[in-house]
Structure 1
């Protein structure tokens, strides 16, 4: 399968289930310091989970460089839903202050979550200019969150909007008091074809072409 145009001339790192995330993160950080960040490719929940963790770690490596990363994610059909190729198009962005947790609508991703329902919830909040983050515990929920963002991008096409995200580590406390490590996806909306906005800045409505006067 031919890779999309945004991969041309860029380093493409294939991330597998057995990939060492700190090693991948180091490669991401090194390549980003030298020039354009790499593109990550992953197939299946385990590989996608490793890719997301690697980006989160790479972001921490780049903090001393006053540099950050955002991710544009897309699905490319190879013949089966779970086996589709997921591409993480990494982009550099300046570091920005983080909003307080209560500034976000927190969506939960579970392994059994409906991708279309999660994508619909993401898109609805973005249309209403609500800050969105997604929390996922475990590789299947992480995969479902990534998948949901892929589909939310499609849902927002007619609105002239698009999405990137930033992954980070967090932890959650369940109702029984037990704690677990989790991945958090901070959704970064923006007008289609424009750079991402800082969290808390609503995306502007797409401009309509001027009409001719009679």
Structure 2
């Protein structure tokens, strides 16, 4: 896995701009979970079982939030959402998620992934203005600064990650970018899918995060 991570380049230094998140706002800490509609994702959880629960919930009503602590849990949850999206294709339902930090200390990898369902749309073009590869050593807040800057430029952006730590870093970057974009009255949601990335003569499995920008 480390060899695969090494093939992913980080955001160029000239694009690496860290930002300061607003001290107030709805995004830094998770929204209310008092309804009890959530699932706790285990680091050793069965990905397909979690995906099945998410897909079943989407067909029946509201999709539960996924609570994650640590890179392994985040990775399981993201893969489960990606698989659930394939399960729901025949139902013309699609899923996206928004990460919210469960602690004011955003360096802690404790997240709630809020999953939303909607009608399946035409496939999003795989040709993006900016594709940002994320590696195991990428700094989420720095990546988030570059991501927010591209969104302000109204460019289409996607993230690509190979490996557990890279996937976790991508999700943390999206969570931080949501904070940075609050002042612009914009928000983002992500649609994860599996892709193959060709690097150095090898085809590697990766997770691609297509991003949808919303005005708030």
TM class by shorter chain equals: 0.7 to 0.9
- Residues 23-59 of structure 1 show CA distances to partners (whole Å, capped at 9, x for unaligned) of 0000001111110111101100011000000000001
**Taking CA–CA contacts closer than 8 Å with sequence separation of 6 or more, which of the two structures ends up with the larger relative contact order?**
2
TM-score w.r.t. length of structure 2:
0.82
Cα deviation, residue 10, structure 1: 4.9
4+ aligned runs moved over 4 Å, structure 1: none
**1:124/1:67 Cα in 2 relative to 1: closer, same or farther (>3 Å)?**
same
1:185 aligns with 2:209: yes
Distance 2:166 2:74 in 1: 11
What TM-score do you get using the length of structure 1 for normalisation?
A: 0.83
Q: In structure 2, which of residues 144, 153, 156 is the aligned counterpart of residue 131 of structure 1?
A: 156
Correspondence list, 1:191-210, <5 A? 191-192=215-216
Alpha-carbon offset, residue 104 of structure 1: 3.9
Separation in 2 of the partners of 1:8 and 1:33?
22
CA-to-aligned-CA distance 1:42-86 (integer Å, 9 cap, x gap) = 10001100000000000111111110011011111176834x421
Q: Deviations over 1:101-127 (max 9, x none)?
A: 223411010111121221011101111
1:27 aligned residue (38, 50, 53): 53
CA distance in 2, matches of 1:80, 1:68: 29
Instruction: Specify every segment of 5 or more residues in structure 2 that has no aligned partner in the other structure, as ranges.
Output: 1-28
How does 1:25-104 map onto structure 2 within 5 Å?
25-77=51-103, 81-82=107-108, 84-104=109-129
Q: Secondary structure at 1:101's aligned position in 2?
A: coil
